[in-house]
Structure 1
Amino acid sequence: MEETPAGTPKRPSLARRLRGFARGDEISLIVLGVVVGAAAGFFAAAILRAALFLHEHLYGLTRLSAMDRLASPRQALIPALGGLLVGLSLILARRWRPGRPVDPIEANALRGGEMSLADSAVIVAQTTISNGFGASVGLEAAYTQMGSGFASFLGKRIGVRRADLRTLVGCGAAGAIAAAFSAPLTGAFYAFELVLGAYTPFGLAPVCAAAVAGAVTARLFGAAPELVKIPDPGLSFGAFDAALLLGLAAACALFGVAIMRCATFVEKLFQRTRLPLLLHPVVGGLIVGALAIFSPHVLSSGHEAAFDLFGEDAPERGVLAATILAKAVAAAVSVGSSFRGGLFFASLYLGALCGWLFALVEAVLLPYAPIDGWTSALIGMVSLAVAVVGGPLTMSFLALEATRNLSLSLFVLAASALSSLIVRRTFGYSFATWRLHLRGESIRGAQDVGWMRDLTVGRLMRRDVDCAPVDAPLDAVAALYPLGAAQWIAAIDGDGSYRGLVFLPDVHLRRAEAGGGTPLGALARLPDLTLAPQMNAQAAARLFERAECEALAVLDERRRVVGLLTEGWLLRRYAQALETARRDLAGDPGAREAE
């Protein structure tokens, strides 16, 4: 307790009391999770209301993607107008906030959960404009960005631990997704699989509490949409039916990879045109508007069109394939032309379309054993979403909460696992981590946490490396370095360039056997297998395994020796970091107190 100059006790400040509460025990983190989840639900409701307001005042109705045709050809220009606003905001944001915004996955993987609330607000505004003006993107990215951004802001203000901050960011994402789909299980496992990167007993209670709080709050504000209700097909799948549906899952996985690559291709195409950044979303909006003339289902994320798709009437066969192509192109163009938003619900809608098309084609080819269209639509919806978004358990729980059918959801889990396996083996990324990879980041998911990135060769290496000329005779080297004086010597040429690593005991042994006039370079090992200071521990360990050597030299960009790293020291530090991370994830009290 602090004391005033007169000696009377002074009550600690509110910030200090909150810090003490947050660092008290697990109960405090659960309370914070509820607060964060409720805030995420409120933000999701507000963002949805704003987007629907734009839909109603720009297009005359809120069920935008369910329109049969545009009320006027002039409405095809609305996405381009939204693109102009997004382009202006991108330019202003670069001047106001020169740093690149960080999403929840990157924040938890690389930055210990640190996000900027101001950057999150800018992204939310850009996403709302993009979706509200009809770009083929969803609002789920804005929900998670704002929920997680607020969680990070709150956690930093009250001084929670690094591990707790990551958990709070996951709580924000869980509350946001739960609010978006009125599905707490989906929200919780979205956080575990995509944001936190692992399920932990320590994180279970706060994340689940945040998901429930987010869904309840969204319902209180009347903004939690009902999930698509899929009728119970009442089918018992045989082996042949299962094989067909797993084939659909595999096809959707490959289609998802194609969509991600197409979005990247469009983005690079815009960069090659050398158009000003201001015009990128304008051109993208013109393309989306042109597609909307033929199929308004390409507008926005596709929520309303998905509801109609699972209605009583089956979709028309003639337009189904065209709608799939148009929606895929519109989504890729929207993302590639710098509109803000994600592909979460767009991938769900596209997958459902693919499933219906599969059912219609299968009914023609195999009329005696048709698969129910709703069932194939569900399998397609989940499989494509797993390919693009990731998270097989997340999508499986989404199917469970949508259908209330446990037996069907178990088959959905098998399809989700197959889709995830195919994407991981053929592509290796979800959409979010693929875009991080294109920016030069090395992570493949939230499980690649920041300590791995920080554990670099530059931090682990020894800098006091003994060097000798590559043409120096062994007699001179042995005289300069007696046994025990060093273990490894770097051989360098006249301008200081690295020529190989020499084991000092080999120098004395070869000198005794072949004479002291032999040049040092004759004993140099692995001149081309070297390390760089920026390499992380995983990459260095793989190189050691390839080299089959106990030590490797660390070189700069001019091939000058800047350090030396041994495999034994690398593995020891790597094991220490793994143990620290394991204790941190498990909520080990000792690890929490030691921070």
Structure 2
Amino acid sequence: MTALLEHLRTHKTPARWLAALRALVRTDSLWLIVLAAVTGILAGLAVSLITFTTLLAHNLLAPGYKRLSGLEHVAPWRALLVPAMGGLLLGLWHFYLQRHNRHRPVDPIEANALHGGRMSLRDSLIVTGQTILSNGCGISLGLEAGFSQIGAAFGSRIGRNLRMHRADVRLLVGCGAAGAIGAAFDAPLAGAFYAFELIIGSYAFPLLAPVACASLCALAVVHVSGETLPAIAVPLPQSVPVLAYPLLAVLGGLCALIGVSLMKSAAYMEQVFATCIKPVWLRPMVGGVLVGGLAIISPTVLSSGHIAMREGLVTPPLLGAALGLLLLKAAASTLSIGSGFRGGLFFASLYLGVLGGAAFASVVAPIMDLPLGLCTVAGMCALATAIIGGPLTMILLTLETTHSANLTAAVALTALVSSFTVKRIFGYSFATWRFHLRGENIRSGVDVGWMRTLTVGRMMRTELDILPADTTVASARTTFAGRMPRYIVLHDNQNHYAGLLESNLIQSITIAPDQPLSALVDTNMEVLAADFSIGHAVAAFERTARPALAVTDRNNHVLGILSERYVLRRYAEELERTRRELAGEKHGR
């Protein structure tokens, strides 16, 4: 601290203050923890403000009652009108953004995977505002998308303003998301491992201090603001019978199937809305009317379902009620996503898991009388794992929410079975599934953006030895007498690429001197484009089994050549750099 104060006294302009702080952060990891704490505080403030604003908006549906999913009934005209008007506002907002050519916002996972943690604070504020509007009018989605988006954006902005290293910016993005999720669920460990599993992409001990610090700071802010729910007392058994574990494994597999069905249904519902309702701005209003109709049947489908989830844990519903509520909530959530509302399935998956666990306990009662509380807690963890994709995050969240440490083995079993089943039959979480639908091959927040920035154009060699394709072998030997290059590029009369020749062929005594060089070229003349990524280049070398390939433009003019040896060396260097960053071994710290 003394060093920082001395810097601030001697450098009085804001730019120099930033430079001084940047130097301290790069030389002492303690200052990175300070920045993580600041990020966590900002995330906690954002969670408090978003929660307060959304609960205030809920008065439109139920005056004097802020937690919509805990309602026993809702006025039909309010249930239809408020979500419809909210959908109309959201649709017009979408239409305005499209007309002004706003690009698609980048979420924290995509930012860390492809963009080195770079996120737009303005875009993130738009996403957060749309999430508040969606949840505020009662739509069946959670606020976690807005929470993590704005928290991560704060971390990204701090890192970018300080011009920090790519790995440190990605870490601060993870700190922001950890703070947001930890504060939202009153579960700091779950928030921290949400960042490790989903945003950063791996766990490393040197990263634990800043991520945990951010999560704890955000939680402290939310507690001070009073935007938390009281703890719940879930009736749970003191021990789990040994024979219950096989049934719990079955529950984990069933929850995985429910999760996959829900994710596919959401994508299918988007296609249905796109086909049936051409005006994009009209889709959310129609979706709002449909969700409102379901809310007339049961208000538990409204909003995120957090209160309904807590009530389900305390007093689990019986088979008929559990199945009915599960179908209603699943339908409301898929309608909400399909019609274009903003939000996530994190909260919804917890409630759906509670209902699935309650139904499962009733079904297996003739085989074994499993405690309802055990099945609801295990189902909550398993279904959330299937949809969100972070088994350790969900295990910790379940244990922190229910304070049921004696059920750790049972909860972990269902989570792991669910995770394994989803990977085997589907391969995506909800977030990565939506990336897949957009054509992005992203499975986590692990940094793979370097594969796109490291292009063929940046790696190719532009100093070339070029000859006409009709040049004879004897002429080529004379041209390169005393200096024989490894590769010779051939071109035709129009200066188009005609082949790549290894020089050892023209040195061979078995080749006739009067033979043209074009006769020595392999008929497989696959080429690379300058904008190809290193992944494309590696795939091309594996496909052709050639030691080098030419790089050409759209007119088939030669730009350079790239050798497989160089590509593999660069690929190995980047993988090693990424491995060091994941292990926390970076920049001399």
Aligned to 2:126: 122
Q: Does 1:378 align with 2:377?
A: yes
Deviates more, 1:580-589 or 1:441-450: 580-589
What aligned pairs does 1:129-528 form with structure 2 within 5 A after superposition? 129-226=133-230, 229-238=233-242, 240-273=243-276, 275-312=278-315, 314-364=316-366, 366=367, 369-464=368-463, 485-489=484-488, 501-509=500-508, 512-513=510-511, 516-517=514-515, 520-521=518-519, 523-524=521-522, 526-527=524-525
Q: CA deviation at 1:190?
A: 0.8
CA deviations over 1:197-236 (Å, ceiling 9, x no partner) = 1222332111101111111111111112346543332333
Q: CA deviation at 1:127?
A: 0.5
Contact 2:357 2:378 in 1 (8 A): yes
| Structure 2 letter corresponding to 1:260 | M
Q: CA deviation at 1:328?
A: 1.7
What aligned pairs does 1:563-582 form with structure 2 within 5 A after superposition? 563-582=560-579
Aligned to 1:3: none
For the structure 1 residues 242 and 533, does the alpha-carbon distance in structure 2 shift closer, same or farther, using more than 3 Å as the test? Answer: farther
Contact 1:491 1:521 in 2 (8 A): no
Aligned length: 577
State the distance in 1 between where 2:11 and 2:102 align: 41
Q: Does 1:49 align with 2:52?
A: yes
State the distance in 2 between where 1:122 and 1:329 align: 26
Q: CA deviation at 1:523?
A: 4.2
For the structure 1 residues 172 and 231, does the alpha-carbon distance in structure 2 shift closer, same or farther, using more than 3 Å as the test? Answer: same
Secondary structure of the structure 1 residue equivalent to 2:562: strand
Q: CA deviation at 1:341?
A: 0.8
State the distance in 2 between where 1:254 and 1:483 align: 69
Contact 2:277 2:283 in 1 (8 A): no
Contact 1:112 1:450 in 2 (8 A): yes
Q: CA deviation at 1:14?
A: 4.2
Q: CA deviation at 1:18?
A: 4.4
Q: Provide the TM-score with structure 2 as the length reference.
A: 0.89
| Structure 1 letter corresponding to 2:304 | S
Q: CA deviation at 1:243?
A: 2.3
Secondary structure of the structure 2 residue equivalent to 1:342: coil
State the distance in 2 between where 1:324 and 1:495 align: 68
CA deviations over 1:74-132 (Å, ceiling 9, x no partner) = 42232111111111222233456722212111222222222222222211111011001
Q: Does 1:93 align with 2:97?
A: yes
Q: CA deviation at 1:581?
A: 3.2
State the distance in 2 between where 1:462 and 1:444 align: 33
Contact 2:112 2:170 in 1 (8 A): yes
State the distance in 2 between where 1:361 and 1:288 align: 29
**CA RMSD, Structure 1 to Structure 2 (Å):** 2.9
Aligned to 2:6: none
State the distance in 2 between where 1:207 and 1:273 align: 45
State the distance in 2 between where 1:484 and 1:351 align: 72
State the distance in 2 between where 1:577 and 1:512 align: 42
State the distance in 1 between where 2:373 and 2:544 align: 55
State the distance in 1 between where 2:473 and 2:369 align: 81
State the distance in 2 between where 1:446 and 1:537 align: 19
Q: CA deviation at 1:406?
A: 3.3
State the distance in 2 between where 1:499 and 1:415 align: 60
Contact 2:75 2:296 in 1 (8 A): no
Contact 2:238 2:406 in 1 (8 A): no
Q: Provide the TM-score with structure 1 as the length reference.
A: 0.88
Contact 1:288 1:333 in 2 (8 A): yes
From 541, 544, 555, the equivalent of 2:541 is: 544
Secondary structure of the structure 2 residue equivalent to 1:204: helix
Secondary structure of the structure 1 residue equivalent to 2:56: helix
Contact 1:15 1:158 in 2 (8 A): no
| Structure 2 letter corresponding to 1:360 | S
State the distance in 2 between where 1:128 and 1:425 align: 35
Secondary structure of the structure 2 residue equivalent to 1:59: coil
For the structure 1 residues 19 and 436, does the alpha-carbon distance in structure 2 shift closer, same or farther, using more than 3 Å as the test? Answer: farther
Identity %: 43
| Gaps in structure 1 of 5+ consecutive residues | 1-8
Aligned to 2:12: 12
